[in-house]
Amino acid sequence: MKTGLVSLFIFFHLLSISSAEMSSKVGICYGQLGSNLPSPPESAKLIKSVKAARVKIYDANPDILKSFKNTGIQVSIMVPNEIINNISSNGSLADQWVRTNVLPHYRYTKIRYLLVGNEILSIPDNITWSNLVPAMRKIRSSLKALGIRKIKVGTPLAMDVLQSSFPPSNGTFRSDISGSVMKPMLQFLNRTKSFFFLDAYTYFPWSSDPKNINLDYALLESRNITYTDPVTNLAYTNLFDQMIDAVIFAMKRLGYPNIRIFIGETGWPNGGDFDQIGANIYNAATYNRNIVKKLTSKPSIGTPARPGWVLPSFVFSLFNENQKPGPGTERHFGLFYPNGSKVYEIDLSGETSEEEYKKKPLPKPTNNELYKGKIWCVAAKGANRSELASALSYACTQGNKTCDPIQPGKACSKPDSLVWHASYAFSSYWAQFKRLGGTCYFNKLATQTIKDPSYGSCKFPSVTL
Instruction: Look up the CATH number of the domain holding residue 395.
Output: 1.20.58.1040
Domain assignment present for residue 280? The answer is yes
332 and 457, same domain (yes or no)? no
pLDDT confidence of residue 218: 98
Give the total number of structural domains in the chain. Answer: 2
pLDDT confidence of residue 325: 87
409 and 326, same domain (yes or no)? no
Q: Which CATH number is 261's domain given?
A: 3.20.20.80
Q: Are 177 and 142 in contact (CB under 8 A)?
A: no
Task: Concatenate the DSSP letters of all residues of 89-132 into one string.
Answer: T-HHHHHHHHHHHTHHHHTTS-EEEEEESSSGGGSS-HHHHHHH
400 and 323, same domain (yes or no)? no
Q: Is 265 a catalytic residue?
A: yes
Which of residues 302, 323, 357 is at a domain's end?
A: 357
Residues in the chain: 465
pLDDT confidence of residue 464: 87
Range of the structural domain that residue 97 is part of: 17-357
Domain assignment present for residue 106? The answer is yes
pLDDT confidence of residue 23: 67
Q: Are 194 and 188 in contact (CB under 8 A)?
A: yes
18 vs 20: CA distance, rounded Å:
5
259 and 383, same domain (yes or no)? no
Nearest residue to 85 via CA among 114, 60, 61, 117: 117
Domain assignment present for residue 286? The answer is yes
202 and 341, same domain (yes or no)? yes
The count of other CB atoms within 10 Å of the CB of residue 117 is: 23
Domain assignment present for residue 363? The answer is no
The helix (H) or strand (E) run that includes residue 162 is: strand 162-164
The helix (H) or strand (E) run that includes residue 7 is: helix 2-23
pLDDT confidence of residue 444: 87
Q: Is 356 a catalytic residue?
A: no
Domain assignment present for residue 245? The answer is yes
pLDDT confidence of residue 307: 97
Residue 361: phi, psi to the nearest 5? -60, 145
416 and 338, same domain (yes or no)? no
Catalytic residue among 42, 221, 265, 354: 265
Task: Concatenate the DSSP letters of all residues of 347-405 into one string.
Answer: -TTS-S-HHHHTTSPPPPPS-SS---SEEEEEEPTT--HHHHHHHHHHHHTSSTTTTGG
Q: pLDDT tens track of the chain, all 465 residues? A: 443 444 434 334 433 433 444 467 899 999 999 988 999 999 999 999 999 999 999 999 999 999 999 999 999 999 999 999 999 999 999 999 999 999 999 999 999 999 999 999 999 978 999 999 999 999 999 999 999 999 999 999 999 999 999 999 999 999 999 999 999 999 999 999 999 999 999 999 999 999 999 999 999 999 899 999 999 999 999 999 999 999 999 999 999 999 999 999 999 999 999 999 999 999 999 999 999 999 999 999 999 999 999 999 999 999 999 989 888 999 999 999 999 999 999 999 999 999 999 999 999 999 999 898 999 999 999 889 999 999 999 999 987 788 999 999 999 989 889 999 999 999 999 999 998 888 899 988 999 999 999 988 999 999 987
Q: Which amino acid is present at 420?
A: W
Residue 29: phi, psi to the nearest 5? -85, 125
pLDDT confidence of residue 24: 78
What phi-psi label fits residue 302: left (phi over 0), alpha (psi between -120 and 50 degrees) or beta?
left
Catalytic residue among 119, 221, 345, 387: 119
pLDDT confidence of residue 12: 40
460 and 349, same domain (yes or no)? no
424 and 344, same domain (yes or no)? no
262 and 392, same domain (yes or no)? no
Domain assignment present for residue 4? The answer is no
Domain assignment present for residue 364? The answer is no
Domain assignment present for residue 269? The answer is yes
349 and 378, same domain (yes or no)? no
Nearest residue to 425 via CA among 459, 453, 392, 456: 392
Please state whether the predicted TM-score (pTM) of the whole model is above 0.85.
yes
162 and 279, same domain (yes or no)? yes
What phi-psi label fits residue 443: left (phi over 0), alpha (psi between -120 and 50 degrees) or beta?
left
350 and 394, same domain (yes or no)? no
